[in-house]
Amino acid sequence: MLHVGINGFGTIGKRVADAVRVQPDMTVAGVAKRSPNFEATIADDRGYDLYAADGREPFDEADLATAGTVHDLIETSDVVVDTTPSGVGAANAPLYAEHDTPAIFQGGEDADVADVSFNARANYENAVGADTARVVSCNTTGLSRLLAPLKESYGVEKSRVTLVRRGADPGQTGRGPINDTLPDPVEIPSHHGPDVQTIFPDLDIDTMGMKVPTTQMHTHSVNVTLESEPTTEEVTSLLTDESRLFLIPKTLGIDGAGKLKEYTRDAGRPRGDVWENCIWAESITVQGRDLYLFQAIHQEADVVPENIDAVRALSERTASAEKSIRRTDEALGVGRGLVEHDGSPQRVDSHADD
């Protein structure tokens, strides 16, 4: 069993810990927190060993037992997943190197924090045996999952994406906007295009970003000029076969992120999480070599399976992307409980051979 430490137990960290817990080849070595807040209490309630990132005294005062400091967690872990806020991960990098412990960072860090920027569907093999990897941001993850099969099957001449982003996660009370629509950034391209190019260095992509007053999900308006001319039906079939892409059927009547989250909560997903890209099937349109579609990205959840695959890649326990993706998806439940655009249960066997 791989002993995986999670440094940070916030929006991403708590989800990664729960995902590690259900993997057949991993166990949670412990989680590190800076303060004994409600998330630390939840970690303790769930039976995770709790480690103090900035001293044990506050935890003692709150009557929360700790198993040690973050140094102890790193020492006992085969791999550490750093889910601390943007910038903190880079500050932690020397600590992981000091203990010679492979580390995974999140997309809020600059690309040079790690040996490789990582997306399981696009470049898993590049991270096998690396000392460090950076799981790219939620939006870059969503775009990479979409672009990888398109590049492989049809070639991509150019991509143009407008990203309409939520103003904050539900728990981020200090962010916004509250009553505005913001070009963010005003400059073009937004940071998302260059970030996608850390996965696909030769990709021609332009991105524009916006922020809107919602805590739901990001929505992408995507136009891809392909190198060949598939039909709409052929592209739809290709995307349907991807386990981490969910094509929303018109019959479900889901016209926005609010209903989409309601659907996944009713379907029994933990926290209502949506690990997959959600593509409106009826939006998929091919005109000549130009593909158009809308997709929604759950910013709190889509990077979670990617972190699990990155653990396997760094530890060299699974050299095959297909096998790791299948193992992660089956254990976590990716692809289950949702209905595909043709009315059938969502498939989970894409890119997964025996």
* Contacts (Cβ under 8 Å, ≥6 apart) of 235: 150, 154, 284, 286, 291
For 138-302, the fitting CATH number among 3.40.50.150, 3.30.360.10, 3.40.50.2300, 2.40.30.170 is 3.30.360.10
**Measured CA distances, 177 to 211, 310, 349 (Å):** 7, 33, 40
Give me the residues paired with residue 38 across strands. none
CATH code 3.40.50.720 region(s) in the chain: 2-136+303-331
What CATH class is the domain 2-136+303-331? alpha beta
Q: Which residues of the chain are modeled with pLDDT < 70?
A: 337, 340-354
- Rounded to two decimals, the pTM is 0.94
Residue 154: which of 229, 237, 239 has the closest Cα? 229
Residue 346 known to bind ligand: no
pLDDT score recorded for residue 341:
58
Is 137 assigned a ligand-binding role in the annotation?
Answer: yes
Whole-angstrom Cα distance, residue 8 to residue 3? 16
Q: Which of 64, 116, 138, 217 is catalytic?
A: 138
**Cα end-to-end distance, the chain, whole Å:** 21
| pLDDT one-digit tens code per residue, 30-39 | 999 999 999 9
Q: Is 138 a catalytic residue?
A: yes
**Nearest C-alpha neighbor of 288 from the set 202, 347, 229, 208:** 229
Using CA atoms in the order 197, 203, 208, 211, what is the torsion angle rounded to 10 degrees? -40
167 annotated as a binding-site residue: no
**Cα of 114 vs its chain's centroid, Å:** 17
pLDDT of residue 286: 98
**3 belongs to an annotated ligand binding site:** no
CB contact at 8 A, 43 and 17:
yes
351 a known binding residue?
no
Would you state the pLDDT for residue 174? 82
Instruction: Summarize pLDDT for 49-102 with one digit per residue, the tens.
Output: 999 999 999 999 999 999 999 999 999 999 999 999 999 999 999 999 999 999
Residues of the chain with CATH 3.30.360.10: 138-302
**What sign does the dihedral 99-6-76-34 (CA atoms) show?**
positive
